């Protein structure tokens, strides 16, 4: 008992006892995290009133605002665009390419038979993938759709892909069509009594036909599984096509008899029972916007300080002896006589009792670069993109630059795996099922046995290779790994150049034969070329 407690007991015993009891309760409550991050007694923590409840309240209710701000950062903030496009370029590049990897032993095929089947399947798939007819909108091929889907995924939080089937034409023997839609169009329908503002204020409603709960356009059953998605006919908040009524279509998530997907939902899950994705830039929206504002302010200050403007003070402003140095067509407000404009070599005439006071901006600011770099390090850490890669500025040593690339590629490979699993592989399996059904590819047991279907559908998806700071060192390290059995030639070929080892070996064999034939003649390519004589 301290001196204040003793005084309280003397002055008012009842109040003193309550004081001692409250102090003991606080001591009991302030245990573990109660003395640290969960403390409400520390002055540094009293003003921290963070609230986090369900994913619907934390994520879905804020998605409309987050999407708008992240799109604005992509369109108008250099660092925001750099973060999104750097991720898209390294994860997808020109598109992930199919490499069929069937389980030949399980299917009872020899290596030669498996290789022939894989090459034929890749050739058939490329026929569909390279055509614009794989797109329901007839605008992009499969590899370009990958870029759009992945960029929409990280910029908006999620992307949806409708799997449709169109007519088969002589120039396109497959009917599978992909229709990409942005997350805005998947929302709660107002036909069930929910307002059009669902997704901003109201994120939950119910389907009166079956009683299922609809959370931000995702219909879930009693067990919490997603069973359908509600897709709006247009963007709910758009002012275009006002003459077209806003309607919703219920798209079942899977076929009732086949279990095959009707719609693909691309998103990152960061919490259990999360229904909608979060834009990648969401944790750093404020920092990116402030950096953009700071850069604009510094740029304007530097421009203003570089302008040499002369102000002439006269008793009769109508008499302008020199005139303005800014042409009328370049002036911001030529119709306003009270407006004085600054420009390179501009001359303004002031009226009686008018004077100009300009603070010295002292620009360029020498602290600008260091301050922005410090913020970029924080932003890059949150996005798992090192500062060097975010700013495309490699000024450190070889070891530091290589470490930055290796760290970034941990995230790129993870996102590539997610994208291949959620987009490329399901699309490939749907295409393969159609190709087998149409008789263009033979795969015994594909529709009869789920295990055989999985064995026939096994594939890898290869994309752009990591950048090489020192290609010679990287190549020598690859040779050491191969010689010691730590890696394979095929994997190292993909990692270093993004190429195909089998095709490289075939092409090298062909080139070697040609070289031997030509060198054997001793005419076109002599073994030892004659030295060049400058006098001839």
What is the per-residue burial (b if ≥16 Cβ within 10 Å, else e) of 424-461? bbbbbbbbbbbbbeeeebebeebeeeeebbebbbebeb
Q: Which residues contact 284 (CB under 8 A, 6 or more apart)?
A: 378, 379, 382, 383
Angle at 34 between CA 29 and CA 38, to 5 degrees: 130
Q: Give the pLDDT of residue 193.
A: 46
Calpha distance 210→250 (Å, rounded): 13
Q: What does DSSP assign to residue 253?
A: S
Q: What is the pTM of this model?
A: 0.79
522 token code pair: 């001793």
- Bridge-based pairing of strands 213-215 and 346-350 is unpaired
Q: Could you tell me the end-to-end alpha-carbon distance of the chain, in angstroms, rounded to an integer?
A: 109
Bridge partner residues of 162 (DSSP): 179, 263
Please report, for the chain, the start and end positions of each structural domain, with discontinuous segments joined by +: 1-36, 58-284
CA 165-416-124 angle, to 5 degrees, is 40
Residues 6+ apart with CB under 8 A from 65: 200
SS (H, E, C) 87-154: HHHHHCCCCCEEEECCCHHHHCCCHHHHHHHHHHHHHHHHHHHCCHHHECCCCCCHHHHHHHHHHHHH
- Residues in the chain, overall count: 536
Query: Residue 251 class from Cβ within 10 Å (0-12 exposed, 13-18 middle, 19+ buried)?
Result: middle
134 exposed, middle or buried (CB, 10 Å; 0-12, 13-18, 19+)?
A: buried
Beta strands per DSSP E along 151-306: 158-165, 176-182, 204-206, 213-215, 218-220, 226-232, 248-252, 263-267
Residues 379, 288 contacting (CB under 8 angstroms): yes
Query: pLDDT tens track of the chain, all 536 residues?
Result: 555 556 556 677 776 677 666 665 555 455 677 777 777 777 777 777 788 888 888 898 889 999 999 999 999 999 999 999 999 999 999 999 999 999 999 999 999 999 999 999 999 999 999 999 999 999 999 999 999 999 999 999 999 999 999 999 889 999 999 999 999 999 988 755 444 444 444 577 888 889 899 999 999 999 999 999 999 999 988 888 788 888 999 999 999 888 899 999 999 999 999 999 999 999 999 999 999 998 888 888 887 777 656 666 666 655 554 445 566 666 666 676 666 566 665 666 666 766 766 656 666 677 888 888 899 999 999 999 998 889 888 887 778 888 888 899 999 999 999 999 999 999 999 999 999 999 999 999 999 999 999 999 999 998 887 877 778 888 888 899 889 988 888 878 877 777 778 888 888 888 888 888 887 655 544 444 455 454 55
The Cα 442–Cα 431 span in angstroms is 13
Looking at residue 359, what is its pLDDT?
57
C-alpha to C-alpha distance for 467 and 240, rounded to whole angstroms: 43
Distance CA 235, CA 87 (A): 26
Burial letters 70-91, b for 16+ CB under 10 A, else e: bbebbeebebbebbbebbbebb
What is the torsion angle, in degrees rounded to the nearest 10, for the CA atoms of residue 472, residue 477, residue 480 and residue 481? -140
Q: How many CB atoms lie within 10 A of CB 341?
A: 17
- Cα separations in angstroms, 352 against 317, 321, 325, 356, 507: 8, 16, 21, 12, 85
d(CA 199, CA 204): 8
- How many Cβ atoms from other residues are within 10 Å of residue 503's Cβ? 11
Nearest to 204 by CA among 67, 212, 184, 266: 212
Element holding 495 (H helix, E strand):
helix 489-497
Write phi, then psi, for 164 (nearest 5 degrees).
-115, 170
Count of other CB atoms within 10 angstroms of residue 500: 17
């Amino acid at each position: 008992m301290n001196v204040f407690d003793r005084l309280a007991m003397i002055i008012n015993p009842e109040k003193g006892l309550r004081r001692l009891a409250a102090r003991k309760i606080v001591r009991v409550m302030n245990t573990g995290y109660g003395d640290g991050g969960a403390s409400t007694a520390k002055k540094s923590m009293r003003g921290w009133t963070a609230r986090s409840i369900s994913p619907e309240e934390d994520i879905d209710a804020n998605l409309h605002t987050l999407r708008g701000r992240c799109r604005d950062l992509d369109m108008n903030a250099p660092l925001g665009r750099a973060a999104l496009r750097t991720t898209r370029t390294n994860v997808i590049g020109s598109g992930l390419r199919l490499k069929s990897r069937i389980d030949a032993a399980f299917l009872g095929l020899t290596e030669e038979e498996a290789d022939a089947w894989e090459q034929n399947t890749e050739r058939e798939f490329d026929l569909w993938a390279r055509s614009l007819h794989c797109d329901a909108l007839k605008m992009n091929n499969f590899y370009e759709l990958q870029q759009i889907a992945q960029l929409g995924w990280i910029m908006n939080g999620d992307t949806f892909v409708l799997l449709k089937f169109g007519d088969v034409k002589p120039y396109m023997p497959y009917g599978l069509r992909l229709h990409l839609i942005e997350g805005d169009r998947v929302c709660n329908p107002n036909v069930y009594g929910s307002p059009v503002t669902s997704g901003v204020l109201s994120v939950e409603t119910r389907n009166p036909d079956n009683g299922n709960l609809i959370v931000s356009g995702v219909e879930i059953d009693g067990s919490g599984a997603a069973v359908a998605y509600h897709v709006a006919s247009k963007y709910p908040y758009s002012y275009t096509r006002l003459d077209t009524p806003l309607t919703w279509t219920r798209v079942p998530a899977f076929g009732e008899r086949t279990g095959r997907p009707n719609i693909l939902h691309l998103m990152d899950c960061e919490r259990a029972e999360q229904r909608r994705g979060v834009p990648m830039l969401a944790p750093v929206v404020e920092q990116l916007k402030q950096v953009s504002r700071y850069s604009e302010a510094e740029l304007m200050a530097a421009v203003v300080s570089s302008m040499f403007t002369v102000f002439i003070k006269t008793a009769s402003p109508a008499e302008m002896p020199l005139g303005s140095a800014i042409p009328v067509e370049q002036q911001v407000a030529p119709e306003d006589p009270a407006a004085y404009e600054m420009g390179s070599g501009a001359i303004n005439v002031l009226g009686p009792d008018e004077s100009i006071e300009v603070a010295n901006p002292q620009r360029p600011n020498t602290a600008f670069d260091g301050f922005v770099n410090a913020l970029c390090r924080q932003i890059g850490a949150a996005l798992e993109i090192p500062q060097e890669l975010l700013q495309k500025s490699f000024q450190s040593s070889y070891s530091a630059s290589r470490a930055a690339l290796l760290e970034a590629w941990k995230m790129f490979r993870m996102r590539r795996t997610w994208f291949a699993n959620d987009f490329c592989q399901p699309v490939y399996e749907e295409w393969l099922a159609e190709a087998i059904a149409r008789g263009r590819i033979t795969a015994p047991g594909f529709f009869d046995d789920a295990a055989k279907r999985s064995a026939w559908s096994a594939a890898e998806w290869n994309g752009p290779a990591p950048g090489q700071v020192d290609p010679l060192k990287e190549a020598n390290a690859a040779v050491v790994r191969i010689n010691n059995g730590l890696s394979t030639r095929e994997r190292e070929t993909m990692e270093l150049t993004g190429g195909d080892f089998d095709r490289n070996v075939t092409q090298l064999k062909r080139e070697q034969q040609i070289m031997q034939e030509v060198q054997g003649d001793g005419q076109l390519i002599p073994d030892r070329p004659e030295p060049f004589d400058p006098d001839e």
